[in-house]
Amino acid sequence: MHLKSLLFVASLMMWICVFTSAGPIHAQCKVDWELGVSCRDVFVALVQQIKKWRSLAGCTNGGQKCLYQLTGANRYYISAKHTSPVTGFVDHLRFNLVPYALFTQCHVAALSVSEAWYTLIDHSTNYCNLYNLMEGSGLTEVEGYKEMTNDWICNQRSTANCTEY
Ligand SMILES: *[C@@H]1O[C@H](CO)[C@@H](O)[C@H](O)[C@H]1NC(C)=O
């Protein structure tokens, strides 16, 4: 092989490494859930839970089940903010609801992203931002509940302790 093409291959490999190994600059978590209930039920449950945990009251004994704020909602879309009662950091949440099986089941595509770019080690708060709403509203208990995510797309998922964060 010519030196030139060797160099080309080397630089190509380097770029592939840069793009695939570099994690997100902002800590974030992407989760997909499948639920055996309609997206209408999921919508109502999540919106209610966000409103219920609006004040600081839910965090008087620690945890992060407080300071949620609904920022947008329509039929198959919910957006919200969560502020940490400890650090004051803000995370942005988004739920896309996709009905399937003739509207009897719901696929939830959820994303939480930290506003602060330096919180790469987020103690899985981005996962817990989403999971706590799902659990609090009872959606983790519904028939057919299934979670799909991993540590690559969801910061520190495998070590998450959502009682604390
Ligand atoms: C999660 O955190 C809570 C509160 O700090 C603690 O009581 C509990 O033991 C922890 N659970 C695990 C599995 O580490």
CATH architecture of 26-159: 2-Layer Sandwich (3.30)
How far apart (Å, rounded) are the C-alpha atoms in residues 117 and 21? 18
Q: Quick one: pLDDT at residue 61?
A: 87
> Which residue puts its alpha carbon closest to atom 4 of ligand 1?
164
Nearest CA to ligand 1 atom 5: 164
Question: How is residue 33 written in tokens?
Answer: 């859930």
What pLDDT shows up at residue 52? 97
Reduce the DSSP state of residue 86 to 3 states and report it: coil
Nearest to 39 by CA among 77, 83, 85: 77
Overall size of the chain counted in residues: 165
CA–CA distance, 118 with 27 (Å, rounded to integer): 8
Q: Can you give the pLDDT of all 165 residues of the chain as single tens digits? A: 566 665 665 555 545 444 444 454 688 999 999 999 999 999 999 999 999 999 999 899 889 999 999 999 999 999 999 999 988 999 999 999 999 999 999 999 999 999 886 556 677 899 999 999 999 999 999 999 999 999 999 989 999 999 987
Return the residue whose CA atom lies nearest to atom 8 of ligand 1: 163
Predicted model pTM: 0.83
The amino acid at residue 122 is: D
Max Cα-Cα span within the chain: 68
Alpha-carbon distance 165 to 99, whole Å?
30
Domain boundaries, given as residue ranges, for the chain: 26-159
Q: Is 50 within 8 Å of 136 (Cβ atoms)?
A: no
Q: What is the Cα 11 distance to its own chain's centre?
A: 34
Find tokens 């009905």 and name the residue: 99
Q: How far is the CA of 159 from the centre of ligand 1 (A)?
A: 11
The owner of tokens 């950091």 is: 89
